[in-house]
């Protein structure tokens, strides 16, 4: 379906035509009419499906059609709550592009940046506010944010907000908005707590699921490497030297692991940079911009830090650590092989991660092709490696046989 068939007004159609939007994605085709009809919506949609436009375009139209023609200060009539700073900034940029030919004003507020400039912008008045939960509540406590006029509330990446511990904040924010409002919730997955949250704050919502069967993109060439935990670094270097070309997004489970890999790659002459939650907002934006602008060819990130980041034409994804949630694997490798382009994924599986591979293959209904020809093959009979967690407070005294045998620490 074309956007012109979705009953969007001329200013919005003019803006999106300039960025070559012609055909609506499934999430856009299903969501836009419902939002225009003022229905509550709960949608299961992953990053890269076009969900931002699915809620932004109809919200802009509703606000444009009912805006006050006087010179009164603008009031917040649409609120989008986002779990991460990067995602909030990206949503804000999209709103500004789509509203180019309207006089609607959008701003983004988030932690990790100076609060005073954000206060100044809010004082001038905005129509659409995109915010991370913590900074929004902080500014509300300081009487800098008035949510009494919110007509539409959007909760984006709800499952990530659950993972990051923001659900109670989200409930507080929802209560600060008027009872009579439209609520839209988007989530890549639908765990029980998200379903429970939706049932408590949405009114007779229409459910949309654009991913009824979870599967991996056919345009992604997947390879699975069974390798000892202690040899993952060596295998990574081997592939970078001999096989992998182009830009690379590497996923690690922990912030410590991200930084350790970054240090090792830089030591070996690679242009690598890391992205995780402990970095300042300035450092995170700098890392992402350098990667997008091709100044850096390797970005190493945790799942939380990378969620919602849109990177066009990504060549390769490396799962340095196998995720313990199978949907996460699908989301990770789905960042490459988009828009008809071919992509590659390389997954490093140690003995204690084999069960994760089994759950991934059960979810997708397909086996991940195993690459046996590499210098660091794992013994098929190898047992999971025992490792000592850094900072462990085990009882002092005689070391166990396992700890004596496994002196090296891996993360």
182 and 37 share a domain? yes
Question: Residue 345 has what pLDDT?
Answer: 95
Determine, yes or no, domain membership for 215. no
Q: What is the C-alpha separation between 225 and 235, in angstroms, rounded? A: 9
Question: Residue 293 has what pLDDT?
Answer: 87
Q: What is the DSSP letter of 249?
A: E
Residue 398 has pLDDT above 80, yes or no: no
Q: What is the C-alpha separation between 243 and 255, in angstroms, rounded? A: 26
Main-chain phi, psi angles of 107, to 5 degrees = -140, 160
Question: Residue 386 has what pLDDT?
Answer: 54
Q: What is the C-alpha separation between 215 and 225, in angstroms, rounded? A: 20
- When the pLDDT of each residue in the chain is averaged and rounded to a whole number, the result is 87
Show the domain range for 292.
220-404
Q: What is the C-alpha separation between 406 and 411, in angstroms, rounded? A: 13
User: What band does 384 get if pLDDT is binned at 50, 70 and 90?
Assistant: low
Place of tokens 């765990």: 191
201 and 236 share a domain? no
pLDDT tens sequence across 178-197: 999 999 999 987 888 899 99
Rounded-to-5 percentages of helix, strand, coil across the chain: 40, 15, 45
Please identify, among 189, 209, 229, the residue that sits at the C-terminal boundary of a domain: 209
pLDDT tens sequence across 89-136: 999 999 999 999 999 999 999 998 899 999 999 999 999 999 999 999
Tokens of 355: 């069960």
Cβ burial of 175 (10 Å; 0-12, 13-18, 19+) is exposed
Q: What is the CATH number of the domain that holds 292?
A: 3.40.50.300
pLDDT more than 70, % of the chain: 86
First to last CA, the chain: 48
Question: Residue 407 has what pLDDT?
Answer: 41
- 8 A C-beta contact, residue 260 and residue 383: no
| Helix-then-strand count for the chain, H and E | 16, 13
- 8 A C-beta contact, residue 327 and residue 190: no
Determine, yes or no, domain membership for 391. yes
User: What band does 338 get if pLDDT is binned at 50, 70 and 90?
Assistant: low
319 and 176 share a domain? no
User: What's the number of domains the chain is made of?
Assistant: 2
Please identify, among 209, 241, 270, the residue that sits at the C-terminal boundary of a domain: 209
Mean pLDDT (whole number) for 46-54: 83
pLDDT tens sequence across 233-258: 999 999 999 999 999 999 998 889 99
- 8 A C-beta contact, residue 249 and residue 360: no
**String of b and e for 265-289 (b: at least 16 CB within 10 Å)?**
beeeebebbbbbeebeeeebbbbbe
User: What band does 70 get if pLDDT is binned at 50, 70 and 90?
Assistant: low
- 8 A C-beta contact, residue 232 and residue 318: no
184 and 254 share a domain? no
Determine, yes or no, domain membership for 37. yes
173 and 95 share a domain? yes
48 and 179 share a domain? yes
264 and 365 share a domain? yes
Determine, yes or no, domain membership for 317. yes
pLDDT tens sequence across 137-175: 999 999 999 999 999 999 999 988 887 889 999 999 999
165 and 295 share a domain? no
User: What band does 205 get if pLDDT is binned at 50, 70 and 90?
Assistant: very high
284 and 251 share a domain? yes
Question: Residue 129 has what pLDDT?
Answer: 98
- Of 282-291, 301-310, 356-365, the poorest mean pLDDT is in 301-310
Q: What angle do CA 165, 155, 250 make, to 5 degrees?
A: 60
131 and 244 share a domain? no
- Of 78-87, 217-226, 230-239, 341-350, the poorest mean pLDDT is in 217-226
- 8 A C-beta contact, residue 170 and residue 186: no
pLDDT tens sequence across 27-37: 999 999 999 99
Question: Residue 395 has what pLDDT?
Answer: 43
Residue 86 is inside which H or E element, if any?
helix 85-98
Longest dimension (CA), the chain: 79
pLDDT more than 90, % of the chain: 62
Higher pLDDT, 385 or 10: 10
170 and 273 share a domain? no
Residue from 309, 333, 59, 41 nearest 187 by CA: 41
Determine, yes or no, domain membership for 307. yes
284 and 314 share a domain? yes
Question: Which residues lie below 8 Å from residue 343, measured CB to CB, with a gap of 6+?
Answer: 217, 219, 220, 221, 314, 315, 316, 317, 333, 336, 337
Tokens of 178: 């008027």
Q: What is the DSSP letter of 314?
A: B
Higher pLDDT, 359 or 49: 359
Q: What is the C-alpha separation between 106 and 134, in angstroms, rounded? A: 19
Determine, yes or no, domain membership for 280. yes
Cβ burial of 31 (10 Å; 0-12, 13-18, 19+) is buried
Other CB atoms within 10 Å distance of the CB of residue 358 = 11
pLDDT tens sequence across 58-69: 999 999 988 765
Question: Residue 244 has what pLDDT?
Answer: 95
Question: Residue 394 has what pLDDT?
Answer: 45
Please identify, among 159, 175, 209, the residue that sits at the C-terminal boundary of a domain: 209
Question: Residue 69 has what pLDDT?
Answer: 56
Determine, yes or no, domain membership for 185. yes
Q: What is the C-alpha separation between 280 and 89, in angstroms, rounded? A: 15
Determine, yes or no, domain membership for 214. no
């Amino acid at each position: 379906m074309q956007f012109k068939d979705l009953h969007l007004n001329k200013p919005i159609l003019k803006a999106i035509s300039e960025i070559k939007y012609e055909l609506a994605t499934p999430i856009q085709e299903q969501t836009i009419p419902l939002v225009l009809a003022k229905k509550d919506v709960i949608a299961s949609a992953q990053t890269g499906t076009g969900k931002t436009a699915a809620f932004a375009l109809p919200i802009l139209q509703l606000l444009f059609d009912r805006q006050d023609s006087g010179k009164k200060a603008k009031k917040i009539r649409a609120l989008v709550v986002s779990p991460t700073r990067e995602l909030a900034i990206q949503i804000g940029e999209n709103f500004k592009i789509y509203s180019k030919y309207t006089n609607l004003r959008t701003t983004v507020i988030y932690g990790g940046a100076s609060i005073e400039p954000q206060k100044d912008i809010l004082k001038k008045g905005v129509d659409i506010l995109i915010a991370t939960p913590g900074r929004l509540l902080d500014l509300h406590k300081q009487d800098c944010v008035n949510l009494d006029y919110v007509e539409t509330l959007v909760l984006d990446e709800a499952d990530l907000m659950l993972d990051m511990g923001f659900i109670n904040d989200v409930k507080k924010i929802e209560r600060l908005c008027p009872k009579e409002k439209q609520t839209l919730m988007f989530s890549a997955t639908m765990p029980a707590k998200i379903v429970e949250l939706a049932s408590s704050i949405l009114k007779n919502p229409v459910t949309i699921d654009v991913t009824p069967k979870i599967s991996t993109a056919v345009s992604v060439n997947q390879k699975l490497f069974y390798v000892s935990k202690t040899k993952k670094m060596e295998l990574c270097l081997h592939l970078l030297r001999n096989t992998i070309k182009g830009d690379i997004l590497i996923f690690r489970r922990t912030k410590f692991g991200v930084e350790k890999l970054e240090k090792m790659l830089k030591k070996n002459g690679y242009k690598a940079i890391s992205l995780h939650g402990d970095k300042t907002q300035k450092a995170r934006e700098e890392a992402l911009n350098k990667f997008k602008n091709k100044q850096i060819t390797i970005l190493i990130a945790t799942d939380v830090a990378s969620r919602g980041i849109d990177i066009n034409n990504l060549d390769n994804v490396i799962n340095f650590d196998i995720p313990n949630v199978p949907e996460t694997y699908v989301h990770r490798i789905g960042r490459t092989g988009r828009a008809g382009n071919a992509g590659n994924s390389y997954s490093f599986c140690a003995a204690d991660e084999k069960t994760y591979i089994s759950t991934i293959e059960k979810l997708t209904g397909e086996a991940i092709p195993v690459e046996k020809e590499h210098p660091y093959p794992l013994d098929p009979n190898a047992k999971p490696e025992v490792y000592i967690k850094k900072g462990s407070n085990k009882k002092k005294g005689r070391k166990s046989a396992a700890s004596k045998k496994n002196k090296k620490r891996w993360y």
